[in-house]
Amino acid sequence: MTLEENRIQTKEIQDDDLLSFLNASYRDIEIVLVYTNSEQTQSFSAGIVSEIFDNEVIISHYLPNGKYDGYVVKQIVDIYKIETNSKYVKKIKILSEINNTKHDKLCRVKENGFLTLLTYAYETKKVVTIELIDSDNNDAVGFVEQINDKCCTISMLDDYGENDGVSIFNIDDISHLSCDGDDEFVLKQLNDTLYTNQSK
C-alpha cells in the first residue's frame, strides 16, 4: 500500500468514527460541539444533532448563554472534531434548561440537509443566511421566496432589514446554511416592523 492509499484509508476510518459519534449523539439527544473550520480551530457550533443525511447534519444551535440560536447545516466532510461531555457542553446544557430553550421539530425532512432547512424556512417565514461555493461570505440573506429540488430564490434583506432585491442559485452550490439564528431573527424583527408600519 502506498503512502497516499494509507492516508486515504486512515481518513475513511476517521470519518466512519466521526459519523458513528454523530449518530450516537443524535440517538441520545445530547449537546455536542462540532468543529468544521480548520483555520480557526477555536471556532465551533454548539447544539443538538437534529437530522443526519448522507452528506450533511442539521444542528439545533445554542448561543453561549444556552438560549435559542436557530439551526445550522454542516457538511459532514468538513467536520474534523466533535466534543461532548466537556465543561463547556455541561454549561450550555444547564443554561438551556434554565432558559427552557426549545427548537421546532423539522417535520418535512427531505433528501438532504440544505433542502430540509430551506423548506422549513419557507414554510415558517424564517430568515436564512447562505454561503455559496465556500466563499466565506454571506452570499444570500433573507426569506425563501421559492424553492424546488434544484433551485432556491431568496428575497434579500440588507443589514437594516430592508428589502434588497432577489437572488436565485442552485441548491447544490450551497456550502453553509443557517436559519433563524440570533442575527437572522434581528433582521426579521426589523423587516416586520418596517413593512408593518408602512402598510398602516
Q: How far apart, in whole angstroms, are the C-alpha atoms of residue 72 and residue 113?
A: 9
Q: Note every long-range contact of 152-156, with CB atoms under 8 Å and residues 24 or more positions apart, other chains counting.
A: 152/118, 154/128, 154/130
Domain 108-200 has CATH 2.30.30.100: yes
Please provide residue 23's backbone torsions phi and psi, each rounded to the nearest 5 degrees: -60, -40
Calpha distance 121→124 (Å, rounded): 5
Distant-in-sequence, close-in-space partners of 170: CB < 8 Å, separation ≥ 6? 150, 151
Give CATH for domain 1-103.
2.30.30.100
Give pTM, 2 decimals.
Answer: 0.86
Mean pLDDT in residue range 137-164: 96
pLDDT cut 90: percent of the chain above it: 73
Tell me the C-alpha distance between 116 and 107, whole Å.
9
Domain with CATH 2.30.30.100 in the chain: 1-103, 108-200
Cβ–Cβ under 8 Å, residues 152 and 118: yes
**pLDDT (tens digit per residue) in 7-38:** 333 344 356 778 888 888 888 889 999 999 88
pLDDT of 37-96, one tens digit each?
888 889 999 999 999 999 999 999 999 999 999 999 999 999 999 999 999 999 999 999
